[in-house]
Amino acid sequence: MSNLEPSAEANCECLTGCGAIEFILKPKDRDLGGFSVRRLLPNREVRHIGPWVFFDHMGPADFEPGTGIDVRPHPHINIATVTYLFEGSILHKDSLGSIQVIRPGDINLMVAGRGIVHSERETKDVRNSQHRTNGLQLWLALPEDDEEIDPSFHHYSTGSIPTVEVDAVPVRVMMGEAYGVESPVKTFSSTLYIEAKMTAGQRLVLPNAEQRGLYLVSGSVKLLDTVVETHSMVVLKTEPNVCVEALEETQIALIGGSDIGQRHIDWNFVSSRPERIEQAIQDWKAGKFKPISTDNREYIPYPG
């Protein structure tokens, strides 16, 4: 999902003297046609966090019958997309022939590799009823040696994602390893993604990683002497044993991992090589990407 243009970057506030905090990022709203998303990455100051090069919070969005998410076929290269819902459902289709309904708690991992096309819509039953959608969509840059691998699709049901209780806080280890448990979700480099729900007064020591970003899905937390509000992302320094305290009922998402290096981004194309992006643009314009066999009557053109 999400058509990324160079201007579609979030805002950033630099903080000093705040211990473990390097930046606090504020989202920029982007209209995707019928609903908006909050974009945290990429950012003018923070281009990526570990391998994560893109972070959107879609919703919460309420839809009347006959309306909803309807993202036409569009392409990706050299990344893996990660889709996770808190509420609602999305019907995923791609040029590999995959057809999958994503429901709350599931993880969809679509590996674009040398190139893939997908659409994100809703089933007729959902679209014909009043409904709500709320979730995250993220992009992982693939290591340079894996950028041109064959595309693939992986779906992980909610029951396959491990949950561990840490100081009475339920934590889902979505990707990577934390608190002694490891997620089954496929990774290509050192990758971290966890989520937790906290009640007022609960504390959680965050797992370590070379780079980390803490996003407030809802609620607020205190980190050292700094209060972090809903829909903000804290870019953390490499200091270990960073502890957050919930000031109210709060849901957090922590992403991170090892530095993947510079990536170039144009629209839906991400690569370590700008010439590869230019090739992808021309290929999309010329109709050289393999289409989705069950959704090929329309597509999103390259902007401009």
Whether residue 129 contacts residue 65, with contact meaning beta carbons closer than 8 Å, is answered with yes
> What is the token pair recorded at 83?
């889709």
Q: What is the band of 34 on the pLDDT scale with cuts at 50, 70, 90?
A: low
Cis peptide before 42 (omega within 30 of 0): yes
Q: Where are the alpha helices (DSSP H) in the chain?
A: 124-127, 274-285
pLDDT tens digits for 149-191? 999 999 999 999 999 999 999 999 999 999 999 999 999 999 9
- As a whole number of angstroms, the distance between CA 268 and CA 89 comes to 22
Q: 3-state DSSP: the chain helix, strand, coil percent, rounded to 5?
A: 5, 50, 45
pLDDT the model gives residue 7: 34
Amino acid at 17: G
- As a whole number of angstroms, the distance between CA 291 and CA 299 comes to 9
pLDDT the model gives residue 239: 84
Assign residue 68 a region (left: φ > 0; alpha: ψ between -120 and 50; beta: otherwise): left
pLDDT the model gives residue 224: 84
Least confident among 27-31, 124-128, 144-148: 27-31
Whether the per-residue pLDDT at 15 is higher than 70: the answer is: no
pTM of the model: 0.92
Provide the 8-state DSSP code for 113.
T
Whether the per-residue pLDDT at 243 is higher than 70: the answer is: yes
pLDDT the model gives residue 277: 98
Whether the per-residue pLDDT at 36 is higher than 80: the answer is: no
Q: What is the band of 225 on the pLDDT scale with cuts at 50, 70, 90?
A: confident
pLDDT, mean of residues 260-282: 97
Assign residue 40 a region (left: φ > 0; alpha: ψ between -120 and 50; beta: otherwise): alpha
- As a whole number of angstroms, the distance between CA 280 and CA 268 comes to 10
Whether the per-residue pLDDT at 8 is higher than 60: the answer is: no
